[in-house]
Amino acid sequence: MPDTTLQAAPSPAPLTTFSEDEILFRDNVRQFAEDKIRPIVKEMDEKGVFDKDLIHDFFQLGLMAIEIPEQYGGGGGKFFEAILAVEELSRVDASAGVVVDVQNTLVNNALLRWATEEQKKRYLPRMASQLCGAYALSEAGSGSDAFALQTRAELKGSDYVLNGHKLWITNAKEAGLFILFATVDPAAGYKGITAFIVEKDFSGFTVGKKEDKLGIRASSTCELILEDCHVPDANVLGEVGKGYRIAIETLNEGRIGIGAQMAGVARGAWEYASKYAQERRQFGKAIAEFQGIQFQLAQMATEVEAARLMVYNAARMKDAGVNFVKEAAMTKLFCSQVAERVTSLAIEIYGGYGFTKDYPVEKYWRDSKIGKIYEGTSNMQLATIAKLVLGGK
Note whether residue 66 is domain-resident: yes
Are residues 367 and 255 part of one domain? yes
CA-based nearest residue to 272, from 2, 1, 7 = 7
Q: Which domain holds residue 300?
A: 245-389
Q: How confident is the model at residue 392 (pLDDT cuts 50, 70, 90)?
A: low
Interval 1-57: pLDDT, tens = 444 454 444 555 554 579 999 999 999 999 999 999 999 999 999 999 999 999 999
Are residues 33 and 72 part of one domain? yes
Note whether residue 323 is domain-resident: yes
Q: Count the neighbouring beta carbons within 10 Å of the beta carbon of residue 280.
A: 15
Residue-averaged pLDDT of the chain:
95
**String of DSSP letters for 63-86:** TT-SSS-GGGTS----HHHHHHHH
Given 132, 159, 175, the domain boundary residue is 132
Q: What are phi and psi of 205, to 5 degrees?
A: -110, 130
Instruction: Note the pLDDT of residue 146.
Output: 79
Which H/E stretch holds residue 180? Answer: strand 177-183
Instruction: Note the pLDDT of residue 391.
Output: 85
Note whether residue 252 is domain-resident: yes
Question: What is the average per-residue pLDDT within 58-74?
Answer: 98
Are residues 222 and 115 part of one domain? no
Q: Count the neighbouring beta carbons within 10 Å of the beta carbon of residue 281.
A: 11
Rounded Cα distance between 339 and 90, Å, is 11
Is the CB of residue 331 less than 8 Å from the CB of residue 359?
no
Note whether residue 139 is domain-resident: yes
Interval 263-310: pLDDT, tens = 999 999 999 999 999 999 999 999 999 999 999 999 999 999 999 999
pTM to 2 decimal places: 0.94
The length of the chain is: 393
Q: How confident is the model at residue 89 (pLDDT cuts 50, 70, 90)?
A: very high
Interval 318-376: pLDDT, tens = 999 999 999 999 999 999 999 999 999 999 999 999 999 999 999 999 999 999 999 99
Are residues 198 and 166 part of one domain? yes
Are residues 310 and 185 part of one domain? no
Domain CATH for 89 = 1.10.540.10
Domain CATH for 229 = 2.40.110.10
Domain CATH for 316 = 1.20.140.10
Are residues 250 and 236 part of one domain? no
Beta carbons within 8 Å of 108's beta carbon, 6+ residues apart: 65, 66, 67, 68, 74, 124, 127, 133
Q: Is the pLDDT of residue 233 over 60?
A: yes
Is the CB of residue 91 less than 8 Å from the CB of residue 267?
yes
Given 242, 270, 296, the domain boundary residue is 242
Beta carbons within 8 Å of 38's beta carbon, 6+ residues apart: 5, 6, 92, 93
The b/e string for 141-152 (b: 16+ C-beta within 10 A; e otherwise) is ebbeebbebebb
Active-site choice (174, 303, 340, 375): 375
The percent of residues above 70 in pLDDT, for the chain, comes to 95
Domains: count for the chain:
3
Told to judge if 375 belongs to the known catalytic residues of this protein, a careful annotator would answer yes
Q: What is the DSSP letter of 55?
A: H
Instruction: Note the pLDDT of residue 16.
Output: 52
Are residues 198 and 72 part of one domain? no
Instruction: Note the pLDDT of residue 12.
Output: 56
Rounded Cα distance between 166 and 226, Å, is 8
